[in-house]
Copies of this chain bind each other. A is one copy, B any other.
Amino acid sequence: MAVQSIHFDKTIKSLLDEKKYQTLKDILVTMEPADIAAVFEELDEGRVPLLFRLLPKETAAETFAELEAPHQELLIRGFSDRELHELVNELYVDDAADLVDEMPANVVKRILAQADPEMRKEINEILRYPENSAGSIMTTEYVSLRPTMTVAEAISRIRKTGVDKETIYTCYVTEGRRLLGAVSVKDLLLTADDEKRVSEIMDENVIFVSTLTDQEEVAQMLSKYNFLALPVVDTDNRMVGIVTFDDAMDVLVEETTEDIEKMAGMLPSEKAYLHSTPWDLFRHRIPWLALLMVSATFTGLIITGFENALAAQVVLTAFIPMLMDTGGNSGSQASVTVIRALSLGELEFADAPRVIWKEIQTAVLCGLALSMLCFAKIMLFDRLLLGNSGITVLTAFVVCFTMALTVLLAKIVGCSLPMAAKRIGFDPAVMASPFITTIVDALSLLVYFGIATALLF
């Protein structure tokens, strides 16, 4: 069971107060780095370095990698050069590269100065790749084997070189850095004949990605194939690193959060909610709010255009919110479903006709059900129960007919826009609820006033 962090924070704080460092060491050694990091995030800043120094070297590096950037910076600023040297060279290369990517320039300078030459070279290698590419999230620490090795030789190589590798369970068979195949430790261990060659048992049909492949695609491939790691090759087809499943899981969660933020009309943020200031939140939220507010001008203009009609039939105004909301909801159901399916790779642009046809059929079903319900509601509740005699059967018909048409238009717009966005290389996620709502609002009012003008005046 996960450590109950709330009680735990208190225990650790009081042990720190009482300077019981040996007890603290004994407790920390039993904890997972992710849990230690969570405790650190809750401590007063001044106490973090003290507690950090109680950690065993390896745990210290792993805990450091789990911390958020502000805490990392705080720690580094407090470190002596020797401490920094130890930490940096204990980190996995991909974590070190992330760190360099996030720290301010003067801290980066110190980090690179303390990194061993080999480490520095590999960090710089990873930093060359564009953000969100496979190259930028890969690690260069993997086990490589020669095709001519025997199983016994391979196992002995793993035992000798494995300690620094992020994973030893999938090994890559290379020749002159060219990727020939992959072999798992399971295959090696389960091969009864120790003298068999690696080339005989390796899987030659290795699935690999390029350094420039988008990280989301890499993560989806790892998830689809249930692999522990995927090899990354450069443009000259030489193997340069691997992406491991744990980084892929983080990418999946991160990219989904970004999608969700975009779908709700926000610019994606990398900071956790509790670490964001109101100013951060404001900057990420105001652009879409402002844009959508200004686009609502069209809706306003439509209403102004029919001002006289509305003045004559004020009862029509009361149904505007219901029509607009139902349109918005119908549209966002379709758009969100399509956006999610696109980002999971279940849909492609080529599926557009099937998708639109499916949405039209669904819209007809939804539209029929809703207009019947709406008709019953208007006649029984608004007219009979509330005695609003301004509502005639014809008014109810106008509202319900608008409802059905709006649902149809909303579903078509809702499913088409994300696919069109994908097609022209835009992010489909921004074509979600808020955007669709604004378009559907205008459409539903045009339909409403169009039908009303034709039938009621």
Contacts and interface: CB of A to CB of B under 8 A. Distances in A.
Interface of A: 1-2, 6, 30-32, 34, 155, 158-159, 162-163, 168-169, 185-186, 189-190, 192, 204-205, 207-210, 221-226, 228, 245-246, 248-250, 252-253, 256-257, 260-261, 263-266, 272-274, 276, 278-279, 281-282, 285-286, 288-290, 292-294, 296-297, 299-301, 303-304, 307, 310-311, 314-315, 317-322, 324-326, 328-330, 332-333, 335-338, 340-341, 344, 346-347, 350-351, 354-355, 358-359, 361-362, 365-366, 369-370, 373-374, 377, 381-382, 388, 403, 407, 433-434, 437-438, 441, 445
Contacts of A338: 273
B326 A281 contact: no
Nearest to A432: B264
A454 B274 CA distance: 39
B293 A325 contact: yes
Nearest to A249: B223
Given A189-B168, A207-B32, A225-B32, A282 B321 contact: no
A190 B162 contact: yes
B261 A370 contact: no
B252 A333 contact: no
A314 B325 contact: no
Contact of A292 (B1, B31, B326, B358): B326
A303 B282 contact: no
Contacts of A335: 264
Nearest to A381: B297
20 contacts: A162-B190, A245-B249, A252-B252, A260-B260, A260-B336, A264-B433, A273-B355, A274-B351, A274-B354, A281-B362, A282-B366, A289-B370, A296-B321, A296-B326, A299-B322, A300-B382, A321-B445, A325-B434, A329-B434, A329-B437
Contact of A285 (B294, B341, B362): B362
Contacts of A204: 30
Contacts of A205: 30-32
| Residue among A210, A225, A338 having the largest count of chain B Cβ atoms under 10 Å | A225
Q: Which of A169, A248, A321 neighbours the largest number of chain B CB atoms within 10 Å of its CB?
A: A321
Interface centre among A225, A296, A303 (most CB of B within 10 A): A296
A253 B264 CA distance: 19
A315 B6 CA distance: 55
A203 to B, nearest CB: 9
Nearest to A166: B226
A438 B189 CA distance: 61
A321 B337 contact: no
A35 B70 CA distance: 43
A226 B63 CA distance: 12
B377 A1 contact: no
A290 B372 CA distance: 11
A149 B370 CA distance: 68
B434 A286 contact: no
Contacts of A304: 315, 318, 388
Nearest to A296: B322
Given A207-B32, A226-B246, A366-B286, A272 B341 contact: yes
A319 B189 CA distance: 72
Given A290-B370, A297-B322, A303-B318, A265 B329 contact: yes
